[in-house]
Amino acid sequence: MNTPAPSSRRAALILLLILALPPLFWAGNFIVARAVHAQIPPVTLSLGRWLIALLCILPFALSALRRDYRQYWQYRWRLLAVSTVGVAAFNTLVYTGLHDTTATNGTLLNSCIPIFILLFGALFYKLPLQARQLLGLALSLCGVLTIIFQGEWSHVLKLKFSHGDLIILLAMVCWAFYTLWLRELPPQLSRIG
């Protein structure tokens, strides 16, 4: 059996690290927001997060913005709708909800996003639901419910949602529409811009 060269093993490890970072940042977002919920108001936290993101992304996006500003202006209302639900509303609602619920609940509710995307896509945009999507949806839902009910399905009768859980659920609805509305943006519109 051939063993991979050290350089290819290192490249594979780097690739795995790169692939692991987005979910870690996503989950870390909930943990940090819950940790600072008493010190930083939700709107301030959301604004700060997106200002930092703007400063990080702007150097890469500036040339696309300059080149395609007329296209961005042409689709300004769609871009405003997408950014309102996906950037402003989602994060602000998550941070607001985390004032009244745990980061664990918020992260678990986050797993409802694929369910909402498929359901809303089928209901409002007539996107077909394929059998494998339904199977994946069912498996995902069973996994989430198993975690929520701690393997005891009798806990379904004791299930209670806090005010924060419902706000976070609304945030997940916003993210689902954000994802669906991204599909309506023309493909020639530079996403980095």
Q: What is the pLDDT of residues 73-118, one digit of tens each?
A: 999 999 999 999 998 999 999 999 998 888 888 888 888 888 899 8
pLDDT for the residue numbered 124: 93
Residue-level pLDDT at 23: 82
* 33-55 average pLDDT score: 90
Residues 6-29 have a mean pLDDT of 85
Residue 18 domain flag:
no
Kindly state the average pLDDT of the residues 139-148. Answer: 76
Asked, for residue 192, whether it belongs to a domain, the answer is no
Instruction: Tell me the whole-structure pTM to 2 decimals.
Output: 0.80
Is 78 a member of any domain?
yes
Structurally, the chain folds into a number of domains equal to 1
**pLDDT confidence of residue 81:** 94
For the ranges 1-10, 72-81, 178-187, the lowest mean pLDDT is seen at 1-10
Residue 60 domain-assigned (yes or no): yes
CA distance 169 to 161: 10
Tell me whether residue 7 is in a domain: no
Identify the domain containing residue 92 by its residue range.
32-182
Q: Is 174 exposed, middle or buried (0-12, 13-18, 19+ CB in 10 A)?
A: buried
Position 2 confidence tier, pLDDT thresholds 50, 70, 90:
low
In a domain, 101, yes or no: yes
Residue 138 has what pLDDT? 86
5 pLDDT exceeds 70? no
* pLDDT exceeds cutoff 70 at 1: no
